[in-house]
Amino acid sequence: MTVFTVGWLIWIGFFAIEEGIALTNKRNGDTLSEHVWRWFAIPEAGTKADGKRPSTVGMRLRRFVLLAFMVWLVLHFITGGKF
């Protein structure tokens, strides 16, 4: 096992612990999903956009960057790093 494997396993373990605690405490705004939704100004499921936050160029750019990264990451994983 390399130092990188150990590092990734520690990182994954820390994430699992932190996310597990966040999921079990039932408070709003502490899971990774809730943070991403807030960072990218995405309304949570079941809520209505309040209309107070107009769509700005910056907001659209942040959402595009998130979408582009997620598409790249999926393609990267399923093609074995060829993309």
- Give residue-wise pLDDT tens across range 9-23: 999 999 999 999 999
Three-state secondary-structure class, residue 55: coil
Which pair of tokens denotes residue 68?
């582009």
User: Pick the residue with more confidence: 74 or 55?
Assistant: 74
Which pair of tokens denotes residue 69?
């990264």
Q: Are 1 and 14 in contact (CB under 8 A)?
A: no
Closest C-alpha to 42, from 24, 19, 67: 67
Q: At what angle do helices 32-39 and 3-25 cross, to 10 degrees?
A: 90
- Give residue-wise pLDDT tens across range 8-61: 999 999 999 999 999 999 888 899 999 998 888 887 766 666 656 667 888 889
